[in-house]
Amino acid sequence: MGNPVRTRESGVQSVDRAVTVLELLAGRGEAGVSELAIALDVHKSTAFRLLGALEEHGLVEQIGDRGKYRLGFGLIPLAGRVAERLEVTTQGRAVCDELAGRLGETVNIAIPDRGWAVNVDQARGPAMVTTYNWLGRITPMHNTSSGKVLLAAAILDDPSALPDRTPDGEDGPIDREALAAELAEVGSRGYAWSIEEFETGLNAVAAPVRDHSGNVVAALSVSGPAYRLPEDRVEEITPDVVAAGRELSRRMGFWDD
């Protein structure tokens, strides 16, 4: 049997070399196998194998019969996902600041990531007592307002995305039937509430944010302590949150009218 430690080290080295190839091609525009082998300090056959693996995934491509390689179009969707995340925070800054200032509560933008809702931007209202700093924090999908919005959109494309437990399993089993019914309502009405579901004393409402093609790429939420944001207040501000979600969607290139 092979040495597992050596195998892991070899795998990491291959990944490191593959990344270096991409960086070299990004800087030089194009390069041949021999040129890349010298830069990597590896045998030409090793460089050729690396290029072959990258080419198979569309990350590099050979330029006709010239024997040189350049970056491939397979990188575009990967870069697009990162750009999309950056764009929603860039475009959402003014929307979030305005809404937080007007409502006096915390506004967050969350995106889906591996079964969680991840808060990527935040604006705080002028209230003396604010909620927890959510920026960068991951939260469950099934019991947060942002998570419900993201999950409602996800199961339309892939019903198997409906969870039976959180990714870490800490919340225990989830009533999938009840959750599916709630998410159907979320999808039809265009917003989601979380009334002390995720944390005792915390209420929130969220609306979807769509990209230019109409896909839900984020959720915009307003949250606050239950004593300041009781259920009747959540209901009162819901139209404002939905309108802010639509405004951010328009800034992302989506027009629904």
Per-residue pLDDT at 86 exceeds 90: no
More confident residue, 174 or 238: 238
Largest CA distance in the chain: 70
4 has pLDDT over 50: no
pTM for the model: 0.69
Q: Where are the domains of the chain?
A: 4-73, 80-251
Q: Which of 228, 210, 257, 179 is nearest to 84 (CA)?
A: 210
81 vs 169: which has the higher pLDDT:
169
User: Which is more confident, 9 or 215?
Assistant: 215
Is the pLDDT at 100 greater than 90, yes or no? yes
The domain defined by 4-73 folds into: Arc Repressor Mutant, subunit A (1.10.10)
Over its C-alpha atoms, the chain yields an Rg (Å, rounded) of 23
**Nearest alpha-carbon partner for 32 in 65, 79, 78:** 65
The domain made up of 80-251 is a member of CATH 3.30.450.40: yes
All residues at 6 or more sequence positions from 180 whose CB lies less than 8 Å from its CB, including other chains: 155, 162
